Amino acid sequence: MATVRAKFVVNKTSQTLGSRNTGKKDEHNRDIYEACPMDTIEASPVYANGDPNHENTKFWQASPGGKFELNCVNPGVLSGLKAGVQFYVDITIAE
């Protein structure tokens, strides 16, 4: 399978409570987790804009439906992805 490229637009961002591994173990050798902020983006494929030669129209014709949601507890990683921002998702099979 060749790499497939999709183009999405952010519809919504939010922040909720998540958790992350502290890197420490408890007395039973279990991982210890701590509460932390979790950023989430929700996105959908870009839509056609009436120009048949525009990149978004070409993407829309190839994949007009779908949803992309990503949660992240790493601070700042999703900071550039605000509502209306467009981004690419490249899909490649992991070996």
List the pLDDT tens digit at each of the 95 positions of the chain: 788 888 999 999 999 999 999 999 999 999 999 999 999 999 999 888 788 888 888 888 877 788 999 999 998 889 899 999 999 999 999 98
Residue type, 23: G
| 86-91: strand order across its sheet | 68-72, 31-45, 4-25, 86-91
CA-closest candidate to residue 22, choices 31, 10, 14: 31
Q: Which residues pair with 72 in a beta bridge?
A: 39
pTM score: 0.79
Distance CA 76, CA 81 (A): 10
The dihedral through the CA atoms of 10, 11, 12, 18 has a sign that is negative
Torsion of CA 70, 30, 37, 84, to 10 degrees: -10
